[in-house]
Amino acid sequence: MPCGTWMGDPTEVGPHLYPGGERAALARLNALMDRTAWLCSFKKPETEPTSLSPSTTVLSPYLKFGCLSVRTFWWWLHEVYQGQREHSQPPVSLHGQLLWREFFYTAGAGIPNFDRMVSNPICLQVDWDNNPQHLRAWREGQTGYPFIDAIMTQLRTEGWIHHLARHAVACFLTRGDLWISWEEGVPQVFEELLLDADWSLNAGNWLWLSGSAFFHRYFHIYSPVAFGKKTDRDGAYIRKYLPVLKDFPAKYIYEPWKAPRAVQEQPIVEHGAVSKRNLGRMKAARAQKGNESPRRHQAPLVPCRHSSCLPLLQAPSGNNQPVTSMLPPPQKPTPHPRMCPRGQTPPRKPESPRDNTPLDQPPPLPQW
């Protein structure tokens, strides 16, 4: 059985937060059904993208893989709603989220080239920039905006991000900041990294968030600074996924480039203070030693057997015997157990399968 690294799979995996299978799906659904008040008051736009634990159901991966029937989810919710006097309504309720799913499924089935810009009858034709460097920085969480980079780090390590976090990074890539085509975000990033990547939902949301199709407020741009601050002013979400910033002041954690130089650089010592202290220590040590000549630390002599070095090896004082003669005789090398006796042909080593590991391995975590 070939190992996964041949196909480019990473050797190190992130936390296994969402185990697959119908049993896990039904267990998660049952736990949600016990939260009656939360289910009835659920309004998706009011959930928090920066919550350290998911503020939505996270049933989308199970719906995507068929581990959970969408009909089961719908009717279990219906029973909960029936027993309550009031509950949220579509499009923001949980029933509304299932209706959005059907909407994008219908659009994907009926619109030609739904996941492309060219020859897509509903897609706005935009002259996007081609900037591989910016695209790679966005994908790897190296944009320099901690909120955006934390989201992309969570996506890469956990396989899931909040829907408003998806809005933020999609807007940043397209109409908000980088002006890179939404097509770059569909197959190369979200389809590859999201556990709940669903072709119709993925393409439809990218069309929407890039301002390329459907009804939208194209002038509403998600700020990579202000949007995260709305629900997480202290930056706990950033500190979790970018641990290098865990001790950064909250005042600057969303905009580290605005921090004073003393805050940005935190060396292990302060050069001005410790250099003066160490100079005093050195003076004290020399005064205590007096006029004695300091001894240099010498590493033990390791004689060389090379012929050109033999004249350089002198015998110790009072001994005319060369240094090399005092060394133990060289040991006769022992043949390796796998070496064949002289005259025999070694067995042909079976050819190992060709290594098809791509050069572009999944990137490591951001090194701020």
Distance CA 41, CA 86 (A): 8
Distance CA 364, CA 73 (A): 37
The pLDDT of residue 242: 96
* Domain topology for 4-110: 1.25.40
The pLDDT of residue 229: 96
Assigned token pair, 149? 């980079």
Rounded to 5°, the CA angle 202-237-179 comes to 45
Q: How far apart are the first and last CA of the chain?
A: 38
Q: Is 59 annotated as a binding residue?
A: yes
Nearest to 22 by CA among 58, 69, 91: 69
Q: Is 63 annotated as a binding residue?
A: no
Q: Is 100 annotated as a binding residue?
A: yes
- Please enumerate in sequence order all residues whose Cβ is within 8 A of that of 233, keeping only pairs 6 or more positions apart, or say none: 250
Distance CA 84, CA 250 (A): 42
The pLDDT of residue 284: 76
Q: Check residue 256 and report its DSSP letter.
A: G
Residues of the chain with pLDDT under 70: 1-14, 216, 265-269, 274-275, 279, 286, 289-368
The pLDDT of residue 149: 96
The pLDDT of residue 51: 87
The pLDDT of residue 264: 79
Q: Is 42 annotated as a binding residue?
A: no
Q: Is 89 annotated as a binding residue?
A: no
What are the residue ranges spanned by the domains of the chain? 4-110, 132-261
Q: Is 136 annotated as a binding residue?
A: no
Distance CA 102, CA 204 (A): 11
For residue 118, with 0-12 CB atoms within 10 Å meaning exposed, 13-18 middle and 19 or more buried, which class applies? exposed
Q: Is 93 annotated as a binding residue?
A: no
Q: Is 56 annotated as a binding residue?
A: yes
**3-state secondary structure at position 336:** coil
Written as one letter, the residue type at 91 is P
Distance CA 338, CA 355 (A): 25
Written as one letter, the residue type at 328 is P
Residue pLDDT, tens place only, 160-190: 999 999 999 999 999 999 999 999 998 889 9
Contact 197, 190 (CB under 8 A): yes
Q: Check residue 180 and report its DSSP letter.
A: B
Instruction: Tell whether domain 132-261 is in CATH 3.20.20.80.
Output: no
